[in-house]
């Protein structure tokens, strides 16, 4: 079956660094997405990885290892506005997104 696993909740301190892990099992693989979702709002796109390695975009970076079925999202210099859920989604051979349940990130001052 297809499955995306990520931690339910994480807590971090303002100004620190946090890494949110995601493991995936999909029928075929056409890339890995990360989305951010603030409470009561729509998900918004953060990153897309299809090749192994690290993609950096400002304070956010995303890493992919296809051989391990593993990705992580790295958030640096955490700000209070980063408090949100982070959704990992793998794209299968039919180009459909398989979504994880999301990781709720709580930032403390």
Partner 1 sequence: NAGVTQTPKFRVLKTGQSMTLLCAQDMNHEYMYWYRQDPGMGLRLIHYSVGEGTTAKGEVPDGYNVSRLKKQNFLLGLESAAPSQTSVYFCASSKGSGDYNEQFFGPGTRLTVL
Among 21, 29, 66, 98, binds partner 1 (CB under 8 A): 98
Q: Map residue 82 onto helix, strand or coil.
A: helix
Q: Is the dihedral of CA 15, 22, 56, 65 positive or negative?
A: positive
Nearer to partner 1, 30 or 65 (CB): 30
Q: Is 50 in the site for partner 1 (CB under 8 A)?
A: yes
Interacting residues with partner 1 between 9 and 48 (CB under 8 A): 30-31, 33, 41-45, 48
Taking residues 65 to 94 in sequence order and writing x for each that binds partner 1 by CB under 8 A, - otherwise, the string is ----------------------x-x-x---
Distance CA(83)–CA(97), nearest Å, equals 24
Cα distances (Å, whole numbers) of residue 75 to 2, 63, 105: 27, 12, 11
d(CA 73, CA 79): 15
Q: Is 102 near partner 1 (CB under 8 A)?
A: yes
Question: Which residues would be at the binding site for partner 1 (CB under 8 A)?
Answer: 4, 30-31, 33, 41-45, 48, 50, 87, 89, 91, 95-102
């Amino acid at each position: 079956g297809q499955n995306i696993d990520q931690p339910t909740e994480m807590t971090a301190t303002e100004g620190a660094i946090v890494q949110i892990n995601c493991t995936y099992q999909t029928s075929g693989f056409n890339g890995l997405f990360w989305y951010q979702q603030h409470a009561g709002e729509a998900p918004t796109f953060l990153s897309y990885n299809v090749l192994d390695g690290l993609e950096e975009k400002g304070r956010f970076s995303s890493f992919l290892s296809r051989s391990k079925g593993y990705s992580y999202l790295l958030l640096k210099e955490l700000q209070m506005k980063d408090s949100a859920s982070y959704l990992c989604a793998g794209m299968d051979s039919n180009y459909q997104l398989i979504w994880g349940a999301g990781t709720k990130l709580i930032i403390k001052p």
